[in-house]
Amino acid sequence: MKKIKIIALLLLGGISVDMQAQEFDANLQIRPRYEFRNGYKTLLPEGQAGTSFVSQRSRLNLNFAQDQLKVKLTLQNTRTWGDVANANVTDKNGIAVFEGWAQYDFDKKWSTRVGRQVISYDNQRILGEMDWAQQGQSHDALMVSFHPKNHQLDLGAAYNSNAENVIETPYTVSNYKAMQYAWYHTNIDAVGISLLMLNTGYEYADHENKLLVDYKQTFGTYLTYKTKKLDANLGVYGQTGKSTDRSVSAWYAGANLGYAVTDAFKASLGYEFLSGKDMNDGSAVIKSFNPIFGTNHGFNGYMDYFYVGNHQNSVGLQDAYLKLSYNVKKWQFALIPHVFHAPNKVITPANEELESYLGTEVDLTFGYAFKKDISITGGYSQMFGSKTLEFLKTGDAGHTNNWAWLMISVNPRIFTLKK
Q: What residue numbers bound the domain in which 199 lies?
A: 2-418
Domain count for the chain, please give it: 1
Q: For residue range 316-350, list pLDDT tens digits in order.
A: 999 999 999 999 999 999 999 999 999 999 999 99
Query: Are the CB atoms for 286 and 243 separated by under 8 Å?
Result: yes
Higher pLDDT residue, 87 or 293?
A: 293
Q: What is the pLDDT of residue 21?
A: 80
Query: Are the CB atoms for 223 and 193 separated by under 8 Å?
Result: yes
Query: Are the CB atoms for 300 and 339 separated by under 8 Å?
Result: no
Q: What is the pLDDT of residue 20?
A: 57
Q: What is the mean pLDDT of residues 109-136?
A: 97
Q: What is the pLDDT of residue 89?
A: 84
Q: Which of 288, 210, 198 is nearest to 247 (CA)?
A: 288
Q: What is the mean pLDDT of residues 170-185?
A: 96
% of the chain residues with pLDDT over 90: 91
Q: For residue range 372-401, list pLDDT tens digits in order.
A: 999 999 999 999 999 999 999 999 998 999
Q: For residue range 258-313, list pLDDT tens digits in order.
A: 999 999 999 999 999 999 999 999 999 999 999 999 999 999 999 999 999 999 99
Q: What is the mean pLDDT of residues 215-225?
A: 98
Query: Are the CB atoms for 366 and 326 separated by under 8 Å?
Result: no
pLDDT at 15 over 90: no
Q: What is the pLDDT of residue 168?
A: 92
**What three-state secondary structure class fits 419?**
coil
On average, the pLDDT of the chain sits at 94
Q: For residue range 239-261, list pLDDT tens digits in order.
A: 999 999 999 999 999 999 999 99
pLDDT at 409 over 60: yes
Q: What is the pLDDT of residue 4?
A: 43
Q: What is the mean pLDDT of residues 352-377?
A: 96
Q: Which of 210, 200, 206, 202 is nearest to 168 (CA)?
A: 210
Interacting residues of 229 by C-beta distance below 8 A, sequence separation 6+: 259, 260
Q: What is the pLDDT of residue 47?
A: 87
pTM surpassing 0.85? yes
Distance of alpha carbon 392 from alpha carbon 399, whole angstroms: 16
Interacting residues of 219 by C-beta distance below 8 A, sequence separation 6+: 196, 197, 198, 237, 238, 239, 240
Q: 328-332 long-range contacts, Cβ below 8 Å, gap at least 24?
A: 328/264, 330/368, 330/369, 330/370, 331/366, 331/367, 331/368, 332/365, 332/366, 332/367, 332/368
Helix (H) or strand (E) holding 6: helix 2-18
pLDDT at 13 over 50: no
Question: Parallel, antiparallel, or unpaired: how do β-strands 250-260 and 265-274 relate?
Answer: antiparallel
CATH value at residue 319: 2.40.160.100
Query: Are the CB atoms for 315 and 343 separated by under 8 Å?
Result: yes
Q: Which of 299, 273, 324, 310 is nearest to 389 (CA)?
A: 310
pLDDT at 195 over 50: yes
- The radius of gyration of the chain from alpha carbons, rounded to an integer in Å, stands at 24
pLDDT at 17 over 70: no
